[in-house]
Amino acid sequence: MSKPIVTLNSVVIRFAGDSGDGMQLTGDRFTMDTASLGNDLSTLPNYPAEIRAPQGTLLGVSSFQLHFADHHVRSPGDAPDVLVAMNPAALKANIKDMPRGSTIIVDKDEFTSRNLTKVGYDANPLEDGSLDSYKVHAVALTSMTVGALSELSLSRKEAERSKNMFALGILTWMFHRPTEATQKFLEAKFAKKPEILKANLLAYQSGWNYGETTEDFSTSYEIAPSKMQAGTYRNISGNTALALGLIAASEKSDLQLFLGSYPITPASDILHELSKQKKFNIITFQAEDEIAAVGAALGASYGGALGITTTSGPGIALKSEMIGLGVMLELPLIIVDVQRGGPSTGLPTKTEQSDLLQVMYGRNGESPAVVLAASTPSDCFEMAFEAVRIATTYRVPVFLLSDGYIANGSEPWRIPEVDSLPAISVEFAKTQENFQPYLRDPKTLARPWAIPGTPGIEHRIGGLEKADKTGGISYDPMNHDFMVRTRAAKIEGIEVPDLIVDDPSGDAQVLFLGWGSTYGPIATAVEGLRANGQKIAQAHLRYINPFPKNLGEVLNKYPKVLTPEMNLGQLAMLLRSKYMKDIVGYNMVRGLPFSTAELIEAAMGVLDV
């Protein structure tokens, strides 16, 4: 008899195992197959900080969470409906997040006395009744994978490496995902290793067959496609979207893109992506350190290219003096900061929003720069494009803030038509008599972009204070005061869109105000609050320096403003100091994004005051 099929509105799945178990690859493949069916989705990869933690330990657990649905999805979900745990460590690290009645699939072959003891289990949880409130499927993933590959000339250890594909096959059957794309992916990945390719394909198909034939899985599930705006979509991560946004802006501005970068988690994928796109007249330079990377990028801008550097918080600290030189030279420079947990090396694979004050003020002297923040993986494209527009129009360094959550997470992205992207007009100084390198455009206060080697526009550069208009070295007190105020006025006068407020009732008493990657959890929490009859407004800042011109008016409209941040209140501090508005902060620094439930609870606390 055919097994019953249950239709669901949404599902949250988490794959968890050792960092060597291929959980990120497994989750990514399931995500790609899900995206091809038209479901909306959001993902949360979670990596261990150790490059290779001891096998089977809690420190080495790697996970990948996917939330997919037949409706718009804004967050990867609070609690998994399904957990795939490849060993006792993965179960113990994740069981606290599992609601009662949820499904747990475990590799029972890994629940040996040695592995149980390693993570502190006194008894086997598969046998002691502690999991009775869950739907547990104890599957012999390891031994069945080895058995399925017994005819291949592989050692047992080599065969065991394919067990993640066996697990993926089970989940593919359970949720009616297509198999063709993953098969093609494996064929491309292992094209030069035919025996390994055969092993992975066979394990994948064996897992699917197991789900189809075993009595252990009595039900499968379907989730209808989400209704989306017409267009061509692809699943995209924040780092990839950011790289594509930079490429698009380079093409629209007709500037050669130069990336000077030093590899650092979680920003390195931007370097990797851009290095693959040389056909777009891109130069990528992997420097020997962070200082050399930003110096090369600033030098590229001086030479008439689009200078970009990518890093995370520790790299920003090292780049600060060179960024100050960019402020003094008034040249376009893009600094991408993919934030992670700190201070120092901190939590290199975990997410945080704690670099905001660093990029605002972390340079000597009065050295203002533009600060933008992307809110979702797909928004990284638009904000990267916007960073280039502002930097080239106003001749200023621009910080673009992302973080580990949106950099590594993914969602469907509607690919824009190239013709729909706005033009970025760039003009260089031409040969002229009595060239004045600091004679400013009256509207933007931008100085000319003068390319070295152009006859008649020779001028002095360097970090010493410039004389107004002529650009010569000046120690005059009044000139310094004037130039400092002019550089600040240029940043403050940059035209950015007004802040958009979502307030359906028009009389909400509380404004949920966020920035960066808190967008998804806040939006989901607001949906839940409104469904419960609460009147609450929502707004999200993408422009932080300068703030939108209407921000003060928006803040004054609402008696209470609640601002969640993955730091100890950095945006709240900026808002209080500038607008003299009492801001209610909700702050966590756990290396993880907010859950919807805790934001709803925080909002209810403010509503009850």
Which CATH number does 501-608 carry? Answer: 3.40.50.920
276: its two tokens = 């693959």
* The domain defined by 234-420 carries CATH number 3.40.190.10: no
50: its two tokens = 């150790």
pLDDT at 64: 98
pLDDT at 6: 96
Distance, first Cα to last Cα, the chain? 58
591: its two tokens = 């290396």
Distance CA 406, CA 516 (A): 9
| CATH 3.40.50.970 placement within the chain | 234-420
Query: How far, CA to CA in Å, does 201 sit from each of 26, 208, 561?
Result: 13, 11, 53
pLDDT at 1: 59
**Strand (E) or helix (H) holding 66:** strand 61-69
pLDDT at 49: 82
**Strand (E) or helix (H) holding 398:** strand 397-403
pTM of the model: 0.95
Distance CA 300, CA 23 (A): 40
Low-confidence ranges of the chain (pLDDT < 50): none
| CATH 3.40.50.920 placement within the chain | 501-608
| Measured CA angle at 18 (ends 593, 13), to 5 deg | 50
Distance CA 12, CA 41 (A): 10
pLDDT at 54: 87
Which CATH number does 5-223 carry? Answer: 3.40.920.10
| CATH 3.40.920.10 placement within the chain | 5-223
Alpha helices, DSSP H, located in 40-99: 88-94
Amino acid (one-letter) located at 535: K
